[in-house]
Chain A
Amino acid sequence: MIPLSFYLGLSALLFSIGLFGVMTHKSGIRLIMCIELMLNSANLNLVAFSSYTDTLNGQVFALFSIALAAAEAAIGFAIFMAIYRMHDKINLDELNLLRW
């Protein structure tokens, strides 16, 4: 059986890649992909823990979180679509009306 730490290492790696991407990318689409990566690494964690602690809560939690991630992506794309209609691009660096 694959040790639990392998799953945790993989999910931590995926999470870090997602977090790095959110901080560095300028395109809204890539940003949403990176956020999905972070949420899915948490799902991987949940399922791995669920299998190793012999409880089902984790798998139920993962199902809920998959549905919520989809809803989140839908709202995100809706906001980016509205921005695209106004600016003709989704370059987040150029959205800087609000600053001190």
Chain B
Amino acid sequence: MDELMYLAPEIVVVATGLAILLAGIFLSPQSKNLLGYLATLGVLAALFLTVKSFELLTMQGFMVGYSIFSDTLNIDALSQFFKLIFLVVALIVAIAAIKYNENSDHTEEFYALMLFATFGMMIVASANDLIVLFCAFELASLATYGLAAFEKQNPRSLEAGMKYFVFGSVSAALMLFGMTFVYGATGTTSIPQIAANSGLLTSSPIGLVAVVLLIAGFGFKMALVPFHMWAPDTYQGAPSVVSSLLAAGSKKMGFVAAFRIFIVALAALQPDWQFAFTILAVVTMTFGNLVAVSQTSVKRMLAYSSLAQAGYIAMAFAVMSPLALTGGIMYALAHAFMKAGAFIAAGVVVWMVTSEKRGNLKIPDHLDNFKGLGKRMPLTAFSMMIFVFALAGIPPTAGFMAKFVLFSSTIAAGMTWLAIIAILNSALSLFYYARLVRYMYVLPPEGGKVSEPFPYAIALLVAVAGVLAMGIWPEPFVELATNAAMVLF
């Protein structure tokens, strides 16, 4: 019973999901709107419980953490920090989806899948055993395949879901194949025991095979460059609320799993994977930023910028100092706020274009539809401006603080060339972010003022509050991220 207490946030999330799924059977489409509020309440309660769990950890000292259920799950500063990220993203998505699912017949399916995906991500953050990690990873992936193809009548959404499914299941197979070799060489699936037996991995070529397969498997989820093909298509075609969940939440799941597998379990093979991640980080950020420049669809542009951001976070693996991991973990939270908000803002414009039936209807998130948004929807335009400036790393936003910690740690570790590449990339990214702001504020509007639906406005405000809070008052976030990084050393 005591052990269940530590899983209270997960239990709340999954119980809410089940309750919504059941309640949906008996409700009429109009009263199904209530389910969105129920999901929001559930996520809020889980968020509250996660924040409370930090107090429990502080009492025991952050370094220790708890191992529960025969060492298969770890409750420590790292897992709780990433649960915070997933729940914040789930909160923003749940609020925005109240409007997205308005008067839909499939509301309960959307929220149940979304909450189960969040549950899977939270378990991945805690996983201390390869079996648990793989099952939770698949739970989150399977739920999001369904969400990406949620609009069954929309060919773009179906195509996005199909591509995500094909690449996702290939990556799952690669990951599983890699895990079998880790298990075969060490004879155990428990992550601490793999770390203890890692001498067996370094002494045979099997270890190297496992590293290559695992990097490919996690690389698909993290959307690092040679494995990124699905990401732009899926983020563009999927409903905006789902893109927001994928880019902000599901991508971080890949990172936390990679933290646990590479840094803890495969620490003995560090030279091999560190070299691979250095190359991947440089290629990913450069490719993402270069291709984003020429995009005319805003969601696709955000997808490529999301690739670049994954490249920055992957720098934590390349540098591997405690400060760099702090920066990477902080960047994960900052990116969650910025990207979730930016995709929701793009979703508001898509909603405006499709409900007004004016503008570029074929590509509803086309840059032209953002013309004069500052006059048409002041709140959305202002939030979008905050998000893109944060993504470019302009103070006083979350993006600046995270980039500051990450890049300064790179220089402190003596990898100045990597820091220079990253800073040049940030400068390049400002070009396409500023272009979006020019479209929103300088070009003349093509239509009258539209007022945002209430749920969208609340979701945007939550994200803006997060971005600004992390930028203006970063101390608590730096402290939490430092404690999380200490778990890995």
Whether chains A and B associate is yes
Residues of A within 8 A of B (CB): 15, 18-19, 22, 28, 31, 35, 38-39, 41-42, 45-46, 48-49, 52-55, 57-58, 60-61, 64-65, 68, 71-72, 75-76, 78-80, 82-83, 86-87, 92, 95-100
Residues of B within 8 A of A (CB): 130-131, 134-135, 138, 142, 145-146, 149, 152-153, 155-156, 158-163, 165-166, 169-170, 172-174, 176-177, 179-181, 183-184, 187-189, 232-233, 236-237, 291, 294-295, 300
User: Which of A54, A71, A92, A95 counts the most B-chain CB atoms under 10 A from its CB?
Assistant: A95
- Please, how many angstroms separate the alpha-carbon atoms of A82 and B166 in the complex? 15
Provide the residues of chain B in CB contact with A41, threshold 8 Å.
177
- Please, how many angstroms separate the alpha-carbon atoms of A61 and B190 in the complex? 12
Provide the residues of chain B in CB contact with A58, threshold 8 Å.
180, 183-184, 189
Q: Is B177's CB under 8 angstroms from A97's CB?
A: no
- Other than the known A75-B145, A78-B146, what 15 A-B pairs have Cβ atoms closer than 8 Å? A15-B173, A35-B166, A35-B169, A42-B180, A54-B187, A55-B187, A61-B130, A79-B145, A86-B158, A98-B159, A98-B160, A98-B163, A98-B233, A100-B291, A100-B294
Provide the residues of chain A in CB contact with B179, threshold 8 Å.
42, 61
Provide the residues of chain A in CB contact with B166, threshold 8 Å.
22, 31, 35, 92
B301 to chain A, nearest CB (A): 10
Q: Is B165's CB under 8 angstroms from A100's CB?
A: no
Provide the residues of chain B in CB contact with A28, threshold 8 Å.
162
Provide the residues of chain A in CB contact with B189, threshold 8 Å.
57-58, 61
9 contacts between A and B (CB under 8 A): A38-B173, A39-B176, A46-B180, A55-B187, A58-B180, A75-B142, A78-B146, A83-B162, A86-B153
Say whether, besides A42-B173, A82-B149, A72 and B162 are in contact (CB < 8 Å).
no
Provide the residues of chain B in CB contact with A80, threshold 8 Å.
162
Chain A residue at minimum C-beta to C-beta distance from B169: A35
A53 to chain B, nearest CB (A): 4
Q: Is A68's CB under 8 angstroms from B138's CB?
A: yes
- Please, how many angstroms separate the alpha-carbon atoms of A1 and B180 in the complex? 21
Provide the residues of chain B in CB contact with A64, threshold 8 Å.
131, 134-135
Q: Is B170's CB under 8 angstroms from A95's CB?
A: no
B6 to chain A, nearest CB (A): 23
B340 to chain A, nearest CB (A): 21
Q: Is A57's CB under 8 angstroms from B158's CB?
A: no
User: Which of A35, A96, A100 counts the most B-chain CB atoms under 10 A from its CB?
Assistant: A100
